[in-house]
Amino acid sequence: MDISELPKHFDTQAAESSWQARWRELGVYRYAEAAAGQERSAQERFAIDTPPPTVSGSLHVGHVFSYTQTDLVARFERMRGKSVFYPMGWDDNGLPTERRVQNYFHVRCNPGLKYEPGLDLSAAEGIDPKSPPRQISRRNFIELCLRLTQEDEKSFKELWGRLGLSVDWAQEYSTIDPRCRRAAQRSFLDLWRKGHIYSVEAPTMWDVDFQTAVAQAEVEDRKIAGHFHHVRFGVEGGADGFTIATTRPELLAACVGVTAHPNDERYRHLFGKRALTPLFGVPVPIFPSELADPEKGTGILMVCTFGDATDVRWWREQKLANRQILGRNGRLLAVQFGEANWPSIDPQRANTLYAELAGRSVKQARRAVVDQLRAPDEAVLRGLPPLAGEPTPLEHPVKFFEKGDQPLEFITTRQFFVRLLDKKPMLLEAGDRIQWHPEFMRHRYRTWTENLAFDWAISRQRYFGVPFPVWYPIDAAGEADYENPIVAADESLPLDPADATPPGFSEEQRGMPGGFLPESDVFDTWFTSSLTPMIASGWGEQPERFRSLFPMDLRPQSHEIIRTWAFYTIVKALLHEDRIPWKHVAISGWILDPDRKKMSKSRGNVITPMHLLDEYGSDAVRYWAAGAGLGADTAFDPNVLKVGKRLVTKLFNASKFVLGKEGRPGPIVYPMDRVFLLRLRELVRNATRHFENYEHQQALAETERFFWTAFTDAYIEMSRARTLGTQGAEAQGSALATLRIALGVFLRLFAPFLPYITDEVWSWRYAGETGCASIHASAWPSAADFPELSAGGNDGIFDVAVEALYAINRSRTGAGVSSAREIKTATLAAKPEAFPLLQAACEDIRLAVRADELLAIVEPQLDEAGSDKPGIEVRQIEFVSA
RNA sequence: GGGCGGUUAGCUCAGUUGGUUAGAGCACUUCCCUUACAAGGAAGGGGUCCGGGGUUCGAGUCCCUGACCGCCCA
């Protein structure tokens, strides 16, 4: 190609589309499977457990940031000769997709319905949104989800392609596709057989809006405003009552006990007696508990089924009655006082009062019960109103489902759990065997694991998701036996129990006495996504491939899901395979907006990436992302993009200069060339070490700095004259050879960061010379790129020359003289120990600054500063007149 | 309340095991169309390294302590 014909600037958009096509054509990023029947050793490959993006989410620069950081590692390892396994998955499980499908097609999933093959629905345009939605089977619903999410995946795919992610697109999966459903169900069967899964009817954290159980990891505390209500209780058979403080008076009817701290003198005399609840007149035990805080409220409190997690604990430990009054929909259930489990000293009055509460929501019931508490209570409190004083406002932390708007309740339901609490030591030890980058992120995992308080609730009462491959036998009386589920056979997966018939039954027995009842729950989405390294590597399906790829090398992810995605993935790998899932976890930071707030859809401060790619080019955007280290949150700053773009332009132009030179490279015999290459070799060593330490930002910073200051500002200036042949063929050949080697090394050092410009320049000459059609398939620079360089003495001449150039620049700028103006004569002064170096570099400096005459003198007093720097100063300078 | 990070120039950030006068880019000021690059180059000004103590010949860096910001957990 004719380099002199090249434009002044690099056309990023054109280059990006043509290189993407070229990389596909060459298969540069394809993972090379081991030969049939063979395994690939862990040393030969580098496997990445890519985070499957949530396709229904919005694209923003945060995606670009974290995925680029992973791509840097992939490209580095590939150039180091590893066969890189870099798949891409799509996370289309979960509520957002479910909602979108419901609205888009105006349908509802009904797990009780059977699959309709070939059901063809179109977008619900024109359909009255208020009309009853069409009910379809889960399998049909899943098909619609897949259809819709494929559209979403396109925009992600376009972005990933544009950004130059070196993903192997042959390795694609989506978390709701048949392969992932099969893996999730296989995981369930394996854990079930190993005894790690149990189902139990017990109080579980429950979201009343979504009407589903939620796991500890999906729970967050929010501070909300509430009130302490001071409520008088009576004591059975005695005159003295006491006053409790509660934020949840609506649960009074569910009160099953009263407790205070064992050392609390105020209440010690009550322990062992029974309290009488106001309004409902229910006798409940009063017991001491260390968990009661004497400082909080009045120090004595009511235990309800169930106000919070501590209530659940007291209920278990004290074997209290279970009087659940809250239904799954968040409304108070109808109950009958006077019947078994619902004692009262005045059932009739209790039922009258409770009738005003039944059917109401928590908030409505709270208001109603507070009104009731204001009226005198003859039955329990001898004419006193139960409410003592007015409610006092307070702010307190309340547990919420992270996606929910109403406080979580504890509701007794049957749920499946993975037993974790007995595995803490094993899980902690596994975390220690994994290398975390940055290292301190290890604490997040450790803290979470140590504080784990519940087993993993894996069943969700949702419609869209991977169904449990489970049925229940129905006895002759028509009652389902939930204690003894029938689990599916491995070869039948994936299946939906709503369609499939359990082993040993016929379809006619569905729902019949003596037949079977399908489970309608689906898995927690983490139950599937915790299998990503296993799914991608062919767990349970391709044994050789699985052994070649698992455990993987790297899990990249963000820090807020260490307790979920990282944690559950470790759980699964241990329970299924008794191994850690990967050797390294790389935690990317967050992108903050210019006000240092996290970028998020809800805040409305999201910056989308596409226009940035258009304006600055992909390489510049990658440059910005690569500038931040792992784990470092970074404020978005368009200035950095400008700098990246400038670097791309500089690389383009410097390459034009180097490769556009006429002349024949020769042996590297010139001292300055040799010294420069020694420095460059040092840079290669450092950059390599930084990459190995997962500190890509250091590799970039050092490479960029050396490229700019040592190469383009100094070395090119010093060798320029020689490249023209003015100093003889030997000096010219040495300079040209040095430039060629140096540029080839720089391009490859930059290649992981700037894949487009580097491959473009590579194609001008190096591709043909090396036989590597793409720089991304070439070898990472190493000592092998450098000719045998003798360890000659004057290694310091480069630094001295650079100092001298700076000094002359200062003089030139100070005099307001164009750098085009030649110098007639100049004198440079050096301190004694730098003087020989200055003398040795004198000719190179003279050529670089285009001086007719350059003198070096020694000045001992320059030494007084005591600096290590050569300290070259200009003593006299005279420019050729303009 | 516990844990983990952070606080360095107006802004965004580097600063590796303690070591000369603490760096870069942007922004600002001045100069320069130059031969690969004016979408460029050269130079300059700008810092109590959050505060307080300590260790040390020497601290942005290590230790203690306080403040503030953020995240995770309770």
Separation in Å, CA A535 to CA A221, A317, A552: 33, 41, 12
What mean pLDDT is predicted for residues A404-425?
91
What's chain A's average pLDDT? Answer: 89
Express each pLDDT in A230-287 by its tens digit.
999 999 887 688 999 999 999 999 999 999 999 889 999 999 999 999 999 999 999 9
Q: Look up the protein residue whose alpha carbon has the minimum distance to the C1' of B2.
A: A447
CA within 13 Å, CB half, A629: 12
pLDDT at A813: 83
Angle at which helices A797-814 and A716-723 cross, to 10°: 90
Closest residue by Cα to the C1' atom of nucleotide B40?
A650
Give the nearest nucleotide to A10, CA to C1'.
B39
Residue matched to tokens 């793409």? A774
Q: Is the pLDDT of residue A822 over 70?
A: yes
A39 vs A350, higher pLDDT? A350
Q: From the CA of A802, how many Å to the C1' of B24?
A: 18
Closest residue, CA to C1' of B35: A820
User: How big, in percent rounded to 5, are the helix, strand and coil portions of chain A?
Assistant: 45, 20, 40
| CA of A822: nucleotide with nearest C1' | B34
Q: What is the mean pLDDT of residues A601-606?
A: 72
Lookup: nucleotide whose C1' is closest to A709 CA: B24
Whole-number Å distance, CA A791 to C1' B10? 47
Of the ranges A229-238, A358-367, A855-864, A867-876, which one carries the lowest mean pLDDT score?
A867-876
Tell me what the mean pLDDT of segment A317-323 comes to. 91
SS (H, E, C) A695-742: CHHHHHHHHHHHHHHHHHHHHHHHHHHHHCCCCCHHHHHHHHHHHHHH
Span A114-123, mean pLDDT? Answer: 85
Coil vs helix vs strand at A654: helix
**Gap from A842 CA to B21 C1', Å:** 27
Residue A445: nearest nucleotide (C-alpha to C1'): B72
Q: Which two tokens stand for residue A812?
A: 């030139």
pLDDT band at A309 (very low <50, low <70, confident <90, very high): confident
Nucleotides of B under 7 A from a protein CB: 2-5, 11-16, 20-21, 24-26, 30-44, 69-74
Comparing CA positions, the residue from A723, A721, A705 lying closest to residue A713 is A705
CA of A218 to C1' of B60 (A): 40
pLDDT at site A287: 94
Q: Nucleotide B15: nearest residue by CA–C1'?
A: A698
Q: CA–C1' span, A64 to B5, in Å? A: 23
Distance CA A588, CA A627 (A): 12
Residue with tokens 């209570």: A377
Task: Identify which of A532, A468, A466 has the alpha carbon closest to the alpha carbon of residue A90.
Answer: A532
Band of the pLDDT at A866, cuts 50, 70, 90? very low
Q: How far is the CA of A598 from the C1' of B71 (A)?
A: 11
Q: Which residue is nearest to nucleotide B11 (CA to C1')?
A: A637
Q: What's the CA A632/C1' B69 distance, rounded, in angstroms? A: 15
How large is the average pLDDT for residues A326-337? 92
How far, in Å, is the CA of A401 from the C1' of nucleotide B4?
A: 24
* CA–CA dist A881, A824 (Å, integer): 9
What pLDDT is attached to residue A239? 67
Q: Which residue has the tokens 């840079």?
A: A683
Of all nucleotides, the one whose C1′ comes closest to residue A399's CA is B74
Å from the A809 CA to the B46 C1' = 22
E strand spans, A72-183: 83-85, 88-90, 107-109, 134-136, 172-174
How long is the CA A60 to C1' B29 vector, in angstroms?
A: 37
In this complex, which residue's CA is closest to the C1' atom of nucleotide B26? A639
Amino acid (1-letter code) at residue A214: V
| Residue A122 CA distance to nucleotide B7 C1' (Å) | 55
CA→C1' distance for A799 and B25 (Å): 23
Measured CA to C1', the nucleotide nearest A811 is: B43
Confidence (pTM): 0.89
pLDDT value at residue A792:
67
pLDDT given for residue A621 in this prediction: 93
Q: Are A741 and A695 in contact (CB under 8 A)?
A: no
Name the residue closest to B36, CA to C1'.
Answer: A657
Rounded, the Å distance between the CA of A42 and C1' of B3 is 35
State the Cα–Cα distance between residues A573 and A29, nearest whole angstrom. Answer: 27
Shortest-distance nucleotide from A592 CA to C1': B70
Identify the residue with better confidence: A194 or A479. Answer: A194
Beta bridge partners of A172: A88
Which tens digit of pLDDT belongs to each residue from A436-476?
999 889 988 998 999 898 899 999 888 788 999 999 999 99
Report the nucleotide nearest the CA of residue A805, measured to C1': B42
Nucleotide nearest to A448 (CA to C1'): B73
The Cα A426–Cα A571 span in angstroms is: 9
Q: Distance from residue A7 (CA) to nucleotide B43 (C1'), in Å?
A: 30
The nucleotide minimizing the C1' distance to residue A453's CA is: B74
The mean pLDDT value for A121-148 works out to 84
- Any idea which of A27-41, A414-428, A481-495, A662-676 has the lowest mean pLDDT? A27-41
Could you tell me which residue, A372 or A636, shows the higher pLDDT? A372
Report the candidate in A264, A256, A251 with the shortest Cα–Cα distance to residue A298: A264
Instruction: Give residue-wise pLDDT tens across range A89-114.
Output: 998 877 778 888 888 899 988 888 88
Question: What SS3 class is residue A502?
Answer: coil
A684 CA → B57 C1’, Å: 36
Closest nucleotide to A808 by C1' from CA:
B42
Which of the nucleotides lies closest to A440 (Cα–C1')? B4
CA of A653: nearest nucleotide by C1' is: B36
Question: pLDDT exceeding 70 applies to what percent of chain A?
Answer: 97
**Calpha distance A350→A639 (Å, rounded):** 70
The CA–C1' separation of A533 and B24, in angstroms, is 39
Pick from A92, A100, A110, A56: which is nearest to A463 by CA?
A110
A5 CA, B60 C1': Å apart: 50
